[in-house]
Structures are given as C-alpha cells and as structure tokens.
Structure 1
C-alpha cells in the first residue's frame, strides 16, 4: 500500500451515529410494504376498540339500571379503550414488523453491504434499534390515543365515558402505547439472532403470546414466570379493578417487566451481530 493510499484511508471520516440513524430511517421509510403494514395494523387495532365501544352503545338500552351503574364502577370503559383483541393483534403485527427490519436485510443480502460500509456492527444495530423504537413509539401513541378518544366519545353518548384524568385512564393509554415499541424490539432481537423469516415469526408468536397463555397462576413458579411476560404485564397495567386469584403482583412490578424487556431486547440486538459471519 502506497503512502498516498495510507493517507487517504486514515483521512476517511468515521460514520457518526447520527448518520447511521439517518441511514436506517431512509431504509425504513423507503419500503412501501412497511407503511402498509403499519397502516393496516392501526386500522385493525382501532377498529377492534371502536367496534367494542359501539356494540356497548348500541345495546345500552337493554341493560338494567344496576348493570349500567356497575359498568363505570367496574372500569369497563377503560377495558374497551384498548381491548385484549386489539392488544393481541398489535403484539403480533409489531413483533413481525420489528423482525422484518433486520430479517429483510438478511434475506436480500443487503446486510453484507451495510456491514462492509460500516464495520462497526454494534453501532449499526444500535441505530436500527433507535429508529425502530422511535417509529413504533409514535405508532403506539397514535393508536392508543385515537382508540381512547374514539371509544370514550362513543360511550359518553350513553353517559358511560371517562376522561384521561380519571383514575387509571392515563396508565391504560401509556401501557398500551408502549406495548408497540416493546414488541417491535423483541421482534428485532429475535430476527438478529435467528436471521430467518419463518423461524423468527414463529419465535415471536411463541415468546409474545403463546408462552404467557400457557403459564398459569395456579402455582407459584408458573405465576412468577407468567408475570415476567409482556402480555401479562400489560394486562396488569390496564386492569382497573384488579383481583388476583392466587399470587398478586404490583403495578410497579409490571412497569419493571416493561423496562427489563426493553433493555434486554436492545442489548441482544446490539450484541447479537458481533463476531458472527454474514
């Protein structure tokens, strides 16, 4: 290597982290299928929530006075602000969208080009995690906010709606909104490790939904393991009238589960590509 070549190589600037984030954002926004996925998911999730609230509105007159009074007292308006069906759909969809942010690059081989241009793999994956988290956090906030506003507006026509300032309402919205970036990060982490589309999608479903449903509260070890899953943490956070059958746990514990999953998924994403062949 000549002195001139050495000088040029030494003078070549390193990629700044902001540049990597910008590059990952360009990758994400340039895929039309990604935005179609987000759009369809938003419509389905909001549709589930609004449909449930409208069903209550439609058949409200068939309930007796006692049931109507218990409706608000039991926190059912907040149950309808973000339903279990809506959360299930969002978890499945966001896990898949998060996984495709990396699995798609492995499938097309563009990940080799990325790492050839920027050998600092950890920085690349950290930038990808930042972009995925930011986009899905905005998505989650939008979906949860619209769902709450729309469902309570419908219920309010029957005098059963609640406001964001009512006890537990803000927690329901925030917990449901954060479920989106958390599931996307889990999908991204699984995709980083597995690197195959089918395997990653299956693993995402198993980790996010199947495992929490298999574990029960009947035994202590099973209850503790169940409480450590994202799905059950969300259920605890959105439960207004909470009554544990066997092994109760706290709201603070559920928020801790959220934080641990976020940190663990981000760490696996960043470390998972180090010293591995493409």
Structure 2
C-alpha cells in the first residue's frame, strides 16, 4: 500500500506593505524611538526660540529698526539657526544609523532574514519607514520652529508670515534635512553594522568634513557644495549672493545635492545588505 504525499506548496512571497508594517512595528516597539525624537525636537526648538528671544530681550531702542531687521532677512535666519541645523543632522543621522545597527547588535537581523530571505526588500521597507518617520518629524519641527520664532519676534513687530519671500523655502529645506541625514545614517549603519561606529562616521561625513572644506579655493568650494550641510546653508540663506561670496552657486544645485545624497544613501543601504553576510 502506497501513501500519497501531499503536494508541496511554496510559501507566498512577503508583500512590501507587510514588510513595511513589520518595520514600523519594530521601530516603534522601542521606547527610545519616541523619546529620542521628542528630545531632538525640543533641542532644535530651544536653539531657534532662544536665538529669537535674545534679539527681543536686547532689542535696541531705535526708530525703524524692525523694518531694517526684516529687510536684512534676519527673521528667516532665526527661523532655523545653524546650531539647530547641526542638532537636527546629529539626531536624525544617529536615528537612521541605530535603526539599522540595532538589529545587528541584538541578533534580530538573523531572524528577519530567515523569515524573509529577500534582503533587499527588507532593507527597502526599512529605509522607506525610516525616511517617512523622519520626514514627518522634520516637517513638524520646521513648522513649529518658524511659528514660534516669528511669534517671539512679532512682539517687536519684526516677525514675518508664511507668505514672506523665502519663508517656505527655509521651512522645506530645514524639514528635508532630517530625512537626508537619516538615510545617510542608515547607509553607514548597513556598511559598518556597529552603532557607535556608524554614528561617529555619520558625524565625520556630514558635519566635520564640511568644516574642513572652505569657500576660498575653487576645488574646495566645489567639494563643499556637494555636502548636504552646505546645501542646507545655501537654501536657508535667503539674501545669498552678496559681497564676500567667492564661489556662489544656485539654489537648484543645492536641491540637487539633497536628492543625490538621499537616493545614493538609500541605494547603498539596499545593495550593501544583499552583498554581505549576516
């Protein structure tokens, strides 16, 4: 008597939405996720609001100073200061790096790849989730910073509204700085696979390297203009192009730097995980 074997049915491939949902759950299952974003948001808001408050506190008793203040573009400079931009890049870059390295340090990545052998699909889902979360974070922080700083400056008649020339560009450029830094962090996390190492590499690449490069020599200026931090400075510097700028460049070039870095970082994160062992 022969026993008929049941036909083998292959398991269906995981749908991308299922992978994205799994990455979403893994990300928010950590208490540190919400707290780290909250602390980063408060730090950025504190730097921006503090700068605006300093101006109000030491406001000169001079006729027509508020009009001069607005004409020189200072309200938009205070809407998102360089200190706040640095904190934004530090926080979101570390967030992106740890979102990847956390699975390697805990060993969860082995379980993930055992359940879903399609590594590139898993990493694509992770990158999309991280980018979406940090983009929303960036938008909220940038809008809140603009609203709070202009409300403070308005007490002296020096605040500007959203329809002021260049205001929207400052908000959008500052908001998108967050996902760009997070994606670079995720790419470095995929390559290094160690939390502290990835965070340090992120700081060196995104913040220290632009400091070494300057605008004095043409080759150095060109290299500096390829960095996300310099691109952000170009986009938020509304009265850009005045005297003292040795090698000026366009806002379109700065937006291009944003796009290239984001796409390149996402590509590195997805391809690197496919070509290396667990």
Q: Specify the TM-score bucket, using the shorter chain as the normaliser.
A: over 0.9
Separation of aligned partners in 2, 1:90 and 1:249: 24
Q: How many residues align?
A: 274
Residues 175 and 238, structure 1, Cα contact 8 Å, conserved in 2: yes
Residues 74 and 240, structure 1, Cα contact 8 Å, conserved in 2: no
Separation of aligned partners in 2, 1:24 and 1:134: 12
1:126 corresponds to? 124
2:249 corresponds to? 249
Unaligned stretches of 5+ in structure 2? none
Alpha-carbon RMSD: 1.5
Matched, 1:228 2:229: no
1:207 corresponds to? 205
CA deviation after TM superposition for structure 1 residue 174, in Å:
0.3
1:19 corresponds to? 18
Residues 123 and 270, structure 2, Cα contact 8 Å, conserved in 1: yes
Unaligned stretches of 5+ in structure 1? none
User: 1:5-53 CA deviation, whole Å, 9 max, x = no partner?
Assistant: 7613x2x111000000000000011100111110100001011111111
User: 1:138-174 CA deviation, whole Å, 9 max, x = no partner?
Assistant: 0000000000011101111111000111110000000
User: 1:72-101 CA deviation, whole Å, 9 max, x = no partner?
Assistant: 111000000000001101100110011001
Separation of aligned partners in 1, 2:175 and 2:45: 12
Residues 97 and 184, structure 1, Cα contact 8 Å, conserved in 2: yes
Separation of aligned partners in 1, 2:134 and 2:87: 14
Residues 17 and 127, structure 1, Cα contact 8 Å, conserved in 2: yes
Q: After the TM superposition, which segments of 4 or more aligned residues of structure 1 sit over 2 Å from their partners?
A: 2-6, 62-70
Task: Find the residue that maps to 1:187 and give its secondary structure.
Answer: helix
CA deviation after TM superposition for structure 1 residue 190, in Å:
0.4
> Where do 1:1-278 residues align within 5 Å?
4=5, 7-8=8-9, 10=10, 12-60=11-59, 62-65=60-63, 67-243=65-241, 245-278=245-278
CA deviation after TM superposition for structure 1 residue 67, in Å:
4.5
CA deviation after TM superposition for structure 1 residue 65, in Å:
3.2
> What TM-score comes out, normalization by structure 1 length?
0.95
Residues 66 and 157, structure 2, Cα contact 8 Å, conserved in 1: no
